Amino acid sequence: MSDFIQELKHDHHVIQQVVAGMSAVAELLDSGKQVDPSVLADLVQFLRVFADQCHHEKEEQHLFPLLAAKTNASTRRELEYLEHEHRSAKQLVAQLAKVAAVYVHNPEVVRYRVIDLLQQLVELYPAHIWKEDFLLFPLAQQNLSPAEQQGLEEKFESVEREVGEDIHAGFEMLAKKLEAVVEYRNTGACPLCSSAA
């Protein structure tokens, strides 16, 4: 498997960890508990920077245009649909940022809006990632020349540099931290709750 595909798949793995965390946070809120507002702020920051500015940028600015030029109309339609899903995610995150700001002072007012937005993001990402991992990336592997694949690796490095490697590593830590809230389902000890409701 090409290095550029491994890198995108690694990003997907981190995003999936955070999606599992979002699902668990939505479940906690739905069961009447409060989460620390910093958790929502961290989620918004992750989705804006790691998922959108970094990962979606690698796909939309670099991989998709290259692939669109070398494949048929049906693949181009699929690429447009994937971009449409990126825009949907971005809109949901913008709304989540607004309600997360309200949640800091008035959690009860926006509890169900937060749950709804988290659930919409949880529904969007896994199917999107599945299509890229199992349909799009094999097509890219087949259709892009070794030089084009090498070019993508270099472009991805420059995207990572723009975002900042430390910031990138910090987000991977957040993904790990959120695993703890997923574990909560098994252990019953909630690591992110600010207080039991």
Rounded Cα distance, 172 and 112, in Å: 28
Closest CA to 169 of 46, 24, 4: 46
Query: Which stretch in 57-65, 108-116, 143-151, 161-169 sits in contact with Fe ion by CB under 5 A?
Result: 57-65
The dihedral built from the CA positions of residue 44, 48, 50 and 56, taken in this order, carries a sign that is positive
Q: How far is the CB of 128 from Fe ion (least distance, A)?
A: 6
Containing H/E element for 195?
strand 193-195
Closer residue to Fe ion (CB): 59 or 78: 59
CA distance 143 to 155: 18
Rounded Cα distance, 93 and 77, in Å: 24
Smaller CB separation from Fe ion, 36 or 133: 133
- What is the amino acid identity at position 87? R
Nearer to Fe ion, 101 or 159 (CB): 159
Stretch that binds Fe ion, among 26-34, 52-60, 101-109, 181-189 (CB under 5 A): 52-60
If the CB atoms of residues 42 and 132 are measured against Fe ion, the closer one turns out to be: 132
Cβ proximity to Fe ion: between 19 and 110 the closer is 19
Asked if residues 180 and 191 have their Cβ atoms less than 8 Å apart, the reply is yes
In the stretch 109-138, what mask flags binding to Fe ion with x, by CB under 5 A?
-----------------------x------
Size of the site for Fe ion (CB under 5 A): 2
* Residue nearest Fe ion, Cβ-based: 132
Q: Please choose, from the candidates 33, 55, 70, the residue with its C-alpha nearest in 3D space to the C-alpha of residue 175.
A: 55
Residue 129 Cβ vs Fe ion, minimum distance, rounded to whole Å: 6
Return the residues of window 58-97 that contact Fe ion according to CB under 5 A.
59
Name, in order, each residue with C-beta under 8 angstroms of 133's C-beta and a sequence gap of 6 or more.
9, 12
The region of 51-59, 71-79, 159-167, 174-182 touching Fe ion under the rule CB under 5 A is: 51-59
Half-sphere exposure of 73 (CA within 13 A, CB side): 0
Q: With respect to Fe ion, which residue has the nearer C-beta, 78 or 132?
A: 132
**Residues lying near Fe ion in the complex (CB under 5 A):** 59, 132
